[in-house]
Amino acid sequence: MFDNLKAMGAVAGLLRNQDKLKASAERVRARLAQARVEGQSGGGAVHATVDGQLKVVSIVLSPALAAGLADAPSRERAGALVAQAVNSATERARLLIAQEVSREADELGLPPEMLQGLRGLMP
């Protein structure tokens, strides 16, 4: 019961100080915009880098993979590897976003169950 009252007090304080909440969201957005996470597939044949806003920054194909893309089946395999690498990097970025939001919520004194509302502020 006291935890609920404490949580309600923290939320009420934030609602009174929306500038603090907006500043907090901007700090998280700025950190995530600078963050880079990588995913790979095919034993390192494809590397995908995604930022903390879930945007693909780069795709790198190994020279060996790129050299073997002359026929349609090879290109299809390469496309599948690229998709796997991007999906891997995106999942890592989602985990990073959750960590950043959780850290910021802790700094604001919000309990874990209030994180959903703060996550809504993120991209």
Any idea what the CATH number is for the domain that residue 71 is in? 3.30.1310.10
pTM of the model: 0.69
Q: Which residue has the higher pLDDT, 28 or 111?
A: 28
pLDDT interval class at 26 (50, 70, 90): confident
Place of tokens 């969201």: 25
Structural domains counted in the chain: 1
Q: Which two tokens stand for residue 109?
A: 């004194």
Closest CA to 25 of 83, 90, 110, 113: 110
For residue 104, give its domain range: 2-119
Query: 39 pLDDT exceeds 90?
Result: yes
- 6-9 CB contacts, 8 Å cutoff, 24+ apart: 6/111, 7/110, 7/111, 7/113, 7/114
Q: What is the distance between the alpha carbons of residues 23 and 10, in angstroms, rounded to a whole number?
A: 16
Query: 119 pLDDT exceeds 60?
Result: no
Q: Which residue has the higher pLDDT, 69 or 83?
A: 83
Strand ranges in the chain using DSSP code E only, listed in sequence order: 36-41, 46-51, 56-61
What is the pLDDT at residue 113? 57
